[in-house]
Structure formats: structure tokens, C-alpha cells
Amino acid sequence: MVHLADGILLLAIKRLNGERSERSLFHVLNGKRSATTLQDAFFYELESIFGQFPQATYSYESMLKGFEKRGWLDRKQFKLTKAGEMISSPEAVERLFNRLGGERRDYNATTWKRLSLFVQTFMSKEHARTFYPVQADRPAEQWVKQLLQLDRDWKALMRTFHQEIEQALDHVGDPYATAVVYRFTGAFETGLTYEQIASLLDVDAETARLYFLAGWNELLKVLPEDAKIRGFTYGLSTDRMTYSARESYDLFLKGYIFDQVQARRRLRTSTIEDHVVEMAMYLAVFPLEQFVPMQDIVAIEKLRDPVSWALKPVFEEMSNVSYFQIRLVFARLKRGETFV
């Protein structure tokens, strides 16, 4: 049987366009926060699945072997066959793929842990029932304990939370909304497993898990900015830049030049270059000409194959630019800028 989850993974391979390796995708699926993996996710539009398929090497290898055996994957080129293209092409696959929220996964996951544990704790206390925490997460437990110590009308706020979630889920729609609702644990009912939700939705467990991830990600996105439930996101950030790159960025903002930032951070040149590439990838405004002369920017854009993000062909054509400079230009092109 073909599952929607299979289509998601095949679509990821398709987007890599044969330009990256099996290992590259493995790191994206596991959410490795290295410069190379972050750039792969950015350039090949894989950010939504970043870290959303954590798996061991043997399970990843087994998955690829399965795709190859079913005639969906050419592993030598790491590209899909025509049959694989068909599995990855339905609109439902792309719609789910783009909603998974991998670029916000820590934000989404922590918010869910806090809220789901709060609901279980509050409801259980209201009905004087003992319970085992639905989230085995010490920081979330501490956060909820501190929250409940505050002097609030929690009954009224719970009603508000419920209304806000209902309204948001109306926008999210099924099957995503159903997967979210049935994951909540109350005083008398335990949140369903992915296997149980799968049975309700007539899908496999992995697809049910993806429906939940997509539904929860969309819910947090459509919540009004003044929603009370946003209090559960306190102290969290959706910033995609790594903490180390953010530290370098703060120094650049203070007026330090590249060599000065490197000296203060005591990091290798290549590491600071990776930080600058992150800035080019994620910042709305970036001073590209401080790093690449305009004539070279134009030349790089002209040389780039419109359907490829491969660096080497451009590098081989231009003896006067570095891979670092090409990555910077590509990052701004990927963001929709043009210089020709």
C-alpha cells in the first residue's frame, strides 16, 4: 500500500534534484543544525520537514531500499523514477509537506508540551484525580507548575483557551484538526496514540503523526496575535538563525567588520562565513555588495542554471569568486531578489 507519508519523503528526494546525497537528506530529516544541512533545507525547500523524521541510520537505509525495491527510486543518481514521480506528485502530498513546520519545530513542540500538560494538570486537579503526566519533559513540568501558582481565574481562561483552539481549528480544517483534537488528554480521557488516530482517519500511523504536526503548526500560525493561548509561547522564538550565527550577527550590527567578528568570536574563517550565509538566507535585508562586487553578483546570477542550486558549475566558470560568495548570491536569489 502507498501511504501519504511515502509521498512526503519522495517529494523531498525530488526537490533535491539529484544534486545532494542520501546522507544530506538524512541530516535534514534528523534536523542536524550544521551549516551545510541548514543550507540544503533552505535552497531545496525542505525546511518544512527539517527534523520532522528523526530516525536511525538503519531505518533510513531500510526506507531507501524499500523505495528502490518498489521501483520509485534510482539510488545511483538519488533521483526518482517515473513511478516515484507519480507518488510524489498529488496535491495532497505537497499540501501536507508544506505545512509540517520543521523550520518552527522547537517552538511548536515546546508550546504543545506546555499546553497539553497544562490542560491535563488543570482538568485532573479540578476533578481531584491523580494522573501520570502526559509529557515526560522536566522543563514543561516546571513551567506548568509555576504557571498554576499565579493568581488567575483559570476556569474562565480555560474556556477562553477552548474557544480560541476551536476557532483556529475551523481555519485549519480536517484531517489536521481531528489529529490535534484527539491528542489532548483530560481528566477522564487519554489522548489517542497515532495508531488510534490512524484508525479513525483510515490512514497509517506515520501519516496520522504528520497530520498532527501540520495541524498544530497551522493552528499556531492562524491564532490571533492577542490570543490568550499565545501565553504558552512565552520565551520561545521562531527565529531560524542558529544561536551562534545570531551572536555573530549582533557583532556585525555593532559595526564590526568580518575580521573583527572572527577575532572576537575566536572561530575559524569558514565558520564566520557560514554565519554570514545564514544572515543572507534569513534576513529580509542583507548588504550583499559588502561581500560580493556587483559585477560578480550579476555574473553569478546569469551563470546559474534556473533549475539548479549547484555551486560547482558557477565556480568553475568564474576564477575570481569563492564558494562563499556564490552561496551569498544564491541565498538572495532564493529569497526572490534579482540583479540582472
User: In the prediction, which pLDDT does 132 show?
Assistant: 72
The verdict on whether omega for the bond into residue 224 sits within 30 degrees of 0, i.e. cis, is no
CA angle (201 as vertex; 198, 204 as ends), nearest 5: 35
Amino acid identity, position 212? F
| 161, burial (CB in 10 Å: exposed 0-12, middle 13-18, buried 19+) | buried
CA–CA distances in Å: residue 155 to residues 96, 158, 226, 260, 292: 35, 5, 19, 55, 58
User: In the prediction, which pLDDT does 84 show?
Assistant: 96
Residues in the chain: 340
User: In the prediction, which pLDDT does 291 show?
Assistant: 97
User: In the prediction, which pLDDT does 1 show?
Assistant: 65
User: In the prediction, which pLDDT does 116 show?
Assistant: 93
Structure-block grid coordinates of residue 26: 538524512
From 177, 184, 35, select the one nearest 114 (Cα to Cα).
184
Q: What is the pLDDT along the chain (340 residues), one digit of tens a residue?
A: 678 999 999 999 999 999 999 999 999 999 999 999 999 999 999 999 999 999 999 999 999 999 999 999 999 999 999 999 999 999 999 999 999 999 999 999 999 999 999 998 888 887 777 667 777 789 999 999 999 888 888 889 999 999 999 999 999 999 999 999 999 987 668 889 999 999 999 999 999 999 999 999 999 999 999 999 999 999 999 999 999 999 999 999 999 999 999 999 999 999 999 999 999 999 999 999 999 999 999 999 999 999 999 999 999 999 899 999 999 999 999 999 999 8
Q: Are 213 and 4 in contact (CB under 8 A)?
A: no
- The SS3 call for residue 182 is coil
User: In the prediction, which pLDDT does 264 show?
Assistant: 96
Q: How many other β-carbons are positioned within 10 Å of the β-carbon of residue 137? A: 16
DSSP for residue 191: P
β pairing state of 79-80 and 73-74: antiparallel
User: In the prediction, which pLDDT does 117 show?
Assistant: 92
User: In the prediction, which pLDDT does 267 show?
Assistant: 96
Pairwise CA distance, residues 23 & 332, whole Å: 26
Q: How many other β-carbons are positioned within 10 Å of the β-carbon of residue 144? A: 24
User: In the prediction, which pLDDT does 185 show?
Assistant: 83
CA–CA distances in Å: residue 113 to residues 142, 164, 212: 11, 18, 13
Beta bridge partners of 74: 79
Q: Which residues contact 10 (CB under 8 A, 6 or more apart)?
A: 67, 72, 73, 80, 84, 87, 88, 93
Beta bridge partners of 79: 74
From 268, 226, 240, select the one nearest 107 (Cα to Cα).
240
Beta bridge partners of 111: none
DSSP for residue 79: E
CA–CA distances in Å: residue 254 to residues 70, 249, 250, 257: 55, 9, 6, 9
Q: Which residues contact 44 (CB under 8 A, 6 or more apart)?
A: 15, 16, 17, 19, 20, 309
User: In the prediction, which pLDDT does 125 show?
Assistant: 80
- The SS3 call for residue 225 is coil
User: In the prediction, which pLDDT does 162 show?
Assistant: 93
pTM: 0.93
User: In the prediction, which pLDDT does 190 show?
Assistant: 83
